[in-house]
Amino acid sequence: MIDSRNHREQGFSLLELILTMVIIGILSAASAPMVGSAINAYFTARQMSDELMQVNMAMERVSRELRGALAIDTNSDQTTVRFTRRSDSQEVCFRLNQGRIWRHTGNCANPGHPLTGAVFEAGSTFLYGSFGTNCTNPQLQDSAAAPQNAHLVQLHLTSSTYGAFRTSVYVNTAANPCHL
């Protein structure tokens, strides 16, 4: 016969299980905001990195193509830069529209290809400059007064995430007597 007085049941009591669950619940509730903010930070950083890569690639492409332009024409609202490529004499146009940089070939009215997502705010512009006759101290001008053959194009782009991006592109056009 088995003596029941010396045999104790193995396991946890109901009180121990309830206390453990309460402690786990408190720790989970305390750590959830930290985990949530870490996840949000990851996705925000990823989005910012994607936007920055788009902006850098677009600005590099605009800069590269403008450097080899034969002639630069400007419009009056500072949102378009139109030029003729030196390599094949084709007209190319970059336009700021709906928060994106668009690239058009032929005519700016033709359907273009977006170089970026909608990352730019209103106020992003192309500014044009001329070195004048002495090839020093370029003067930026508004588009209405810009030379038909700009020597310098500045891109002033404002991103909703990063703020301002600015770059200046020296345009080595045939009509540009200044060599930097």
Measured distance CA(100)–CA(49) in Å, rounded: 17
- pLDDT tens digits for 28-68? 999 999 999 999 999 988 888 888 888 888 888 888 888 77
Whole-structure pTM value: 0.65
Confidence at residue 136, expressed as pLDDT on a 0 to 100 scale: 59
Question: pLDDT by residue (tens digit) across 7-23?
Answer: 566 888 999 999 999 99
Give residue-wise pLDDT tens across range 113-169. Answer: 888 887 777 777 877 766 555 565 555 554 444 444 556 777 777 777 777 777 777
Q: How far apart are CA 180 and CA 174, in angstroms?
A: 14
**Pick from 173, 140, 157, 156: nearest CA to 73:** 173
Question: What's the CA angle centered on 126, arms 121 and 130, to 5 degrees?
Answer: 160
- The share of the chain scoring above pLDDT 70, in percent, equals 73
Percent of the chain with pLDDT over 90: 13
